[in-house]
Structure 1
Amino acid sequence: MKVRANGIEIEVDDQGPQDGPVVLLIMGLGMQLIGWPRDFVQPLVDAGFRVIRHDNRDIGLSEGFDHAPRHNFVWQSVRARLGLPVRSPYTLQDMANDSLGVLDALGIEQAHVVGASMGGMIAQRVASSAPQRVLSLTSIMSSSGARGLPGPDPKVAAGLFRRPPGRSEEALVAYSLGFIRLIESPAYPCDEQDLRERVTFAMRRAYRPAGLLRQMLAIGADTGRRPDELGRIRCPTLVLHGEADRLVPIAAGRDTARRIAGARFFSIPGMGHDFPPPVNRLLLAHIIPFLASVPAKDTAP
């Protein structure tokens, strides 16, 4: 369903008991809400949580920004490497405000906020900018954005910037599968046919490469004050990261936890930068007890 959030149209999926504690799931770069797989969502619903997923702006079925001013991606990447400000059509704080707008549109005062990769960065901004709305923060395979942290493996970085060999569905699916294989969990490889079917379904639902590039610019523009602002977060925080993550190395997760007072950090052996079923079980073994341990905040004036 569509809701009006932060002045734009956002596609939302709402599952679970309407009176249950709310878990807001925020997905990462270029990924749609279906990037949160069923075997991640359903156990949360079975545990009594109301689970809200949404397509971030410019991706999936949410409102696009093709009308926004264009910024040369290569030049902005050079600026980022030189430590110069990156120009982007919108910011991660704008995307955090979208997430808060989803809660507003659904009449939800407070939520457990869970983000993966770029979604973890957005979740961090939600927690730092609207602490009264956040029961807890869970940051998965994400980063503080601090300068000096290690970047992607060179082969992964090259794959991220490689162009698809063609525009046919077959070529685009093959291209996506190739990149997923670069970042997948080495201890938990996905079944080839199942992965192909999921990638094809996602591509038929929405294919918006320009939105992905604009989201990348938003990440590049967000490496300024966020690392220090993490020190303002006071809600219970869980940081989870794969030990075999080649896209966002585990040092980024450790740095995130270090900057948030009282944050709990757990590394997942054999986990890369994806959500295969065995990894989902390992993640949820930490997440569900953590969420259940957090009491609701007093909203009385």
Structure 2
Amino acid sequence: MSTDSDSDHPTIFDTTTCIRKGLCPVSSIRNKDDPLESHSLYFEQHGTGPEKIIFIMGLNSSSFAWEWQVEYFPQIADYSVLVFDNRGVGNSGAPRGPYTTSGMAEDAIALLNYVGWTEHRDLHVVGVSLGGMIAQELASRIPERIISLTLGVTTAGGWPWSNLPPWKGLSTLARLTFISDPEVKIPMILEMAFPVEWLDSKAEDDTQGRTNREIITVVYRRRIQLTRPQKFVGHVSQMVAGLTHYVSPDRLRQISKNIPKILILTGDDDHLVRPSGSVHLKEHMPEAEFVQWEKTGHAIHMQHVKRFNGLLERVFAEGKQHAPSSD
């Protein structure tokens, strides 16, 4: 079933696994009288399995960044996948800002309710970067619906200045704000999101002998061609959401107690979110599993696709095992 025509919203994903796509009318569901909340969320649902996964993307990136996860999980009979564009990016609306991670989490809840994913202990949540911040807020609001929570390359936040990226990431983000030419933007994005050593290495399993940089450049070029240009208000407002994000140690401990399985995943060469943010999460989420990969940058789900997807499968299975049958 589709709520909007494919021609209105061209997709990067495999259309053969798509069972529903379109716009979720967040404003009508939540508060139609508030002009600040006048927006809809673009979403796609892939696969028909009983295991439900919602993927939440990070700063100024559309759901197309989950390409290799949407390619993988719906092919396994157990899984259904829900991806969406956060407010302010892609095919979703860009209401007046600034945005907050709590408001963006409320968007995700409206979408989950809209597609009928409302059952008890029926949901695997995966968020990276800003998406991991949104996932924390989501887990504070609907913990009883979540089986597993994966927090990738993210932070609990704090004072706005403590949420600033390292200098390389901050300076690159500032320059990208005013650059529209994809051929100028892509090299900057790559060196911000991936380790240079990895980019210049030969890609595994590539029959053409290309480097990772060559392959990822093609991926980003195609993604940009199919993604609606981001409005300035969306770009800045999402950045404000990241800078103002904060989940207290008490709230982190509560999330940790309430969700059967939590994974905290980070790299060691991240120019956008310091790995110390993940260490802080683990300090206040004692039940969570902490994993750090060496020579790994911010785009962890793209740099190590097979490893990332395999880790998620294990986390999903352990979440089911840990969830009390009478919970």
Give the match for residue 271 of structure 1.
296
Output aligned runs, 1:271-290, within 5 Å. Answer: 271-275=296-300, 279-290=304-315
Output aligned runs, 1:58-207, within 5 Å. Answer: 58-65=88-95, 68=96, 88-109=97-118, 110-147=122-159, 151-163=164-176, 167=180, 171-186=181-196, 188-189=198-199, 191-204=212-225, 205-207=227-229
Distance verdict in 2 for CA 1:188–1:215, change over 3 Å:
same
| Deviation, structure 1 residue 193 | 3.7
Between the two structures, name the one with larger relative contact order (CA 8 Å, sep ≥ 6): 1
- Normalized against structure 1, the TM-score is what? 0.82
Give the match for residue 12 of structure 1.
43
Give the match for residue 42 of structure 1.
71
Per the alignment, in what secondary structure is the counterpart of residue 198 of structure 2?
A: coil
- Aligned residues, how many? 274
1:223-257 deviation digits (Å, cap 9, x = unpaired): 3x445422210202101101111211211111112
**Structure 1 residues without counterparts, runs of 5 or longer:** 69-87
Cα-Cα RMSD: 2.6
The CA distance in 1 between the partners of 2:306 and 2:179, in whole Å, is 36
The CA distance in 1 between the partners of 2:56 and 2:294, in whole Å, is 23
The letter of the residue matching 2:244 is A
Per the alignment, in what secondary structure is the counterpart of residue 55 of structure 2?
A: strand
Distance verdict in 2 for CA 1:11–1:252, change over 3 Å:
same
Give the conservation status (yes or no) of the 8 Å contact 1:115–1:122. Answer: yes
The letter of the residue matching 1:159 is T
Q: Does 1:2 align with 2:22?
A: yes
Give the match for residue 81 of structure 1.
none
Per the alignment, in what secondary structure is the counterpart of residue 304 of structure 2?
A: helix
The letter of the residue matching 2:108 is S
The CA distance in 2 between the partners of 1:253 and 1:269, in whole Å, is 14
The CA distance in 1 between the partners of 2:42 and 2:163, in whole Å, is 34
| Deviation, structure 1 residue 219 | 1.7
| Deviation, structure 1 residue 166 | 5.1
1:219 to 220, 238, 242: 242
Give the match for residue 54 of structure 1.
84
| Deviation, structure 1 residue 206 | 1.4
Give the conservation status (yes or no) of the 8 Å contact 2:194–2:303. Answer: no
Distance verdict in 2 for CA 1:163–1:267, change over 3 Å:
closer
1:256 to 257, 277, 281: 281
The CA distance in 1 between the partners of 2:134 and 2:248, in whole Å, is 10
Give the conservation status (yes or no) of the 8 Å contact 2:126–2:132. Answer: yes
Give the conservation status (yes or no) of the 8 Å contact 1:240–1:283. Answer: no
Give the conservation status (yes or no) of the 8 Å contact 1:33–1:55. Answer: yes
User: Identity of paired residues, percent?
Assistant: 23
Give the conservation status (yes or no) of the 8 Å contact 1:186–1:272. Answer: no
The letter of the residue matching 1:13 is E
1:259-296 deviation digits (Å, cap 9, x = unpaired): 22400000011110114655122222322111012228
Q: Does 1:293 align with 2:318?
A: yes
- Normalized against structure 2, the TM-score is what? 0.76
The CA distance in 1 between the partners of 2:325 and 2:228, in whole Å, is 39
Give the conservation status (yes or no) of the 8 Å contact 1:185–1:274. Answer: no
